[in-house]
Chains A and B, each alone.
Chain A
Amino acid sequence: MTATIALWIALPVLGVSMLLALFRLVRGPSFPDRVVALDLLTTMGVGIIAAVVLAWDQPVLLDVATVLALTSFLATIAFAKYVERGLRVWNNS
């Protein structure tokens, strides 16, 4: 019973938080701002999947959370590499 009430509070608040992060993703003045917002969105996706696992009692979805965390990490690493290599090419030209 308490878990049901907590889920009724948690899932809408998590949705509102995701909308706020989406605002920064759309608005963000610089490129790293958007990447930070995307990173936050995927971390929130992991949290929402954890809440959905509790709500629907579907432990299979935990694999989705792990893969989402992995993908977000790889995307951030790829972005940093892209920026630094771009700087090197840019300064040598």
Chain B
Amino acid sequence: MEQLVASALLLSGTFFMFVASLGIVRMPDVYLRMSCTSKAATLGAGCLLGAVAVAAEHAGVAGRALATILFLLLTAPVAAHLLGRAAYRLGVPLWSGSCCDELRGAYSEGGVLEGRTAPRSHTSPSSPMSQHGV
């Protein structure tokens, strides 16, 4: 019974991991790609660690697996939020099929939306920002 549950969790985790990797290859935009990695990959890793927790013989092993799941669930949204904000402030363009951009104009002080034309004129080639074409 435990073996069956662990196998089902293992296969579903593998499926979600594969969906996440398909998403990061096929999606047209960094924000859509991030949506794949932050949700599907977290669910996949959670399922795989859950398989370990189900199949474990000792409670300590299951506890460590559950602690890792909890840590992933806590940190993945924070990391995705910070990464998305950094990408937006860096000026990475949205997909041309995106319906709306609700953050337009929100980062006018420290971001790049309003100051995008002025600082671009005098960036040096050694600037860390210049290597990704902003």
Residues in A lying within 8 Å of B, measured CB to CB: 1-3, 5-7, 9-10, 13-14, 16-18, 20-21, 23-24, 30-33, 35-37, 39-40, 43-44, 46-48, 50-51, 53-54, 59, 62-63, 65-66, 69-70, 72-73, 76-77, 79-80, 82-84, 86-88, 90-91, 93
Q: List 29 A-B contacts (CB under 8 A).
A: A2-B7, A10-B10, A10-B13, A14-B18, A20-B22, A20-B24, A24-B33, A30-B133, A31-B132, A32-B30, A32-B86, A32-B87, A32-B92, A35-B83, A36-B30, A39-B83, A43-B44, A47-B13, A47-B49, A50-B65, A54-B6, A73-B75, A73-B79, A77-B79, A80-B82, A83-B90, A87-B89, A91-B110, A91-B112
Beyond A20-B21, A36-B83, A46-B49, list 11 extra A-B contacts (CB 8 Å): A6-B11, A10-B14, A13-B18, A21-B25, A35-B83, A43-B37, A65-B49, A79-B83, A82-B128, A83-B89, A87-B89
